[in-house]
Amino acid sequence: MEAEAVVKDWWLYHGTGEGADRRARLETGSPPPWRDFTGSPDPGYAPPGCEGPAWERTRRRGEGYVPDEQETDVVNTALHLRRPLLITGKPGVGKSTLAYSIASDLGLGPVLHWPITSRTVLRDGLYLYDAIGRLQEAGLEQLRRPAGPTGPAAPATATAGAAGTAAEPAAGPDPEADPEAGPAPSISRYLRLGPLGTALLPQDRPRVLLVDEIDKSDIDLPGDLLTVFEDGGFVVPELARLAKEDPTVAIGTDDDPDASVRIPQGRVQCRYFPVVVLTSNGERDFPPAFLRRCVRLHLEPPGPEKLARIVRRRLGVDVEAGGEYLELVQDFIDRSGDGDLATDQLLNAIQLRLAGAWSAPADRDRFLKTVMQHLTGPTA
């Protein structure tokens, strides 16, 4: 059997459960001089903690991850250097789950999730601005204003004078002179930080951000991320333009659109660089400048010993004791030779057998074909 990884003194992440002492070391540790940021937290803003439904989803997903020594070494390297962690590997090997494991193990709150598509641009991750909604609201405000002291403007009519001239149209309301006209709708109602923007808020502890499947992005996105990763912050132009009139504006976050976090001078600047986990299925290459700024980890499909540890942690089943469940692990390994399978397909198979499903011996072949369909290669 593969031995559990021996804990090393310099490790912050262990992958074995929440550790307040290790989180304290993470928060108070000295960063590299070039990764030390100066953002000041908003004392009126409290990020989500280790409670509530969002945290429970993070905890439950992360606690089942089983890292080996090499994986743990690389994760801790990224934590100490305060660099993004780029994880590559085939679908289903646990790339995304590792982000939840880091958050759960160190008690860093719910994971911020930014799924990437071919249409995703940098601003989608930084902030969202509903410009159309603001224009519509401004238009409605104009309609709500009273037309004037004598009511709506009357249509123009011709006077019956000798000169035969047309009367001037009645004057409409003057917004500048209308004492009942309220101020324009605040821009804060139409701005909200995205997952990357929320992760970069200055806080006393880092948040975990999962940038999922970055290899599906437009070719420009990795390059666009470089400046943000180096600076640890960004500017919201819509707020920067208003800085003289309104130097500090409170807006919502990706966690809670109704939250109120103050953004001074339109700039978000982190205090502690977030734990950024980028996943890739290897569908494209990345530019060297991007790779240089990441700590890279490649996850191989788990072997029989690691599969046994995963099943034991997730389902409480000791497959190494022999019997049907050990046979299912071997079936999973054998079928993986013909095409890619995901680890959760093995967990699904064992869960079904624990529930008594597909119990007839004659159903075994159909059972395996049903729950262990290849993700690539042959489907049979």
Segment 271-311, tens digit of pLDDT: 999 999 999 998 889 999 999 999 999 999 999 999 999 99
Pair 192, 336 in one domain: no
pLDDT of residue 130: 85
Pairing of strands 191-193, 261-264: unpaired
Smallest CA-to-CA distance from 83 within 276, 307, 300, 362 is with 276
Pair 39, 93 in one domain: yes
Determine, yes or no, domain membership for 367.
Answer: yes
Side-chain-side CA neighbours of 65 within 13 Å: the count stands at 30
Pair 280, 323 in one domain: no
Pair 65, 192 in one domain: yes
Pair 103, 206 in one domain: yes
How far is 255 from 135, CA to CA, in rounded Å? 25
pLDDT of residue 146: 66
Pair 359, 210 in one domain: no
Smallest CA-to-CA distance from 238 within 201, 202, 271, 263 is with 263
Write the pLDDT tens digit of every residue in 230-267. 999 999 999 999 999 999 999 999 999 888 899 999 99
Pair 92, 110 in one domain: yes
Residue type, 243: A
Pair 269, 318 in one domain: no
Determine, yes or no, domain membership for 252.
Answer: yes
Helix (H) or strand (E) holding 28: helix 20-28
Number of Cβ within a 10 Å radius of residue 97? 20
How far is 227 from 290, CA to CA, in rounded Å? 10
Among residues 281, 299, 317, which one ends one of the domains?
299
User: Has residue 179 got a pLDDT over 80?
Assistant: no
Pair 266, 325 in one domain: no
Mean pLDDT of the chain: 87
pLDDT of residue 166: 40
Biggest alpha carbon–alpha carbon distance for the chain: 113
User: Has residue 41 got a pLDDT over 80?
Assistant: yes
> Which residue, chain included where needed, has tokens 């995963």?
310
Pairing of strands 191-193, 248-251: unpaired
Among residues 299, 316, 334, which one ends one of the domains?
299
Q: Which domain holds residue 33?
A: 20-127+188-299
Determine, yes or no, domain membership for 40.
Answer: yes
Determine, yes or no, domain membership for 198.
Answer: yes
Pair 308, 227 in one domain: no
Please, are residues 194 and 254 in contact by the beta-carbon 8 Å criterion?
yes
User: Has residue 210 got a pLDDT over 80?
Assistant: yes
Pair 212, 335 in one domain: no
Determine, yes or no, domain membership for 6.
Answer: no
How far is 221 from 116, CA to CA, in rounded Å? 10
Side-chain-side CA neighbours of 272 within 13 Å: the count stands at 21
pTM reported for the whole predicted model: 0.84
pLDDT of residue 277: 98
Among residues 299, 333, 349, which one ends one of the domains?
299
pLDDT of residue 155: 47
What domain count does the chain have? 2
Lowest mean pLDDT among 142-146, 246-250, 351-355: 142-146
Pair 202, 334 in one domain: no
pLDDT of residue 176: 42
How far is 196 from 228, CA to CA, in rounded Å? 9
User: CATH number, domain at 252?
Assistant: 3.40.50.300
Determine, yes or no, domain membership for 320.
Answer: yes
Determine, yes or no, domain membership for 88.
Answer: yes
How far is 309 from 64, CA to CA, in rounded Å? 10
Please spell the DSSP secondary structure of 258-319, one letter per residue: T--EEEETTEEE-SS--EEEEEE-SSS---HHHHHTSEEEEEPPP-HHHHHHHHHHHH---G
Determine, yes or no, domain membership for 105.
Answer: yes
Write the pLDDT tens digit of every residue in 50-86. 999 999 999 999 998 999 999 999 999 999 999 999 9
User: Has residue 145 got a pLDDT over 70?
Assistant: no
Please, are residues 346 and 311 in contact by the beta-carbon 8 Å criterion?
yes
The dihedrals phi and psi of 249, each to the nearest 5 degrees, come to: -120, 135
Please, are residues 84 and 179 in contact by the beta-carbon 8 Å criterion?
no
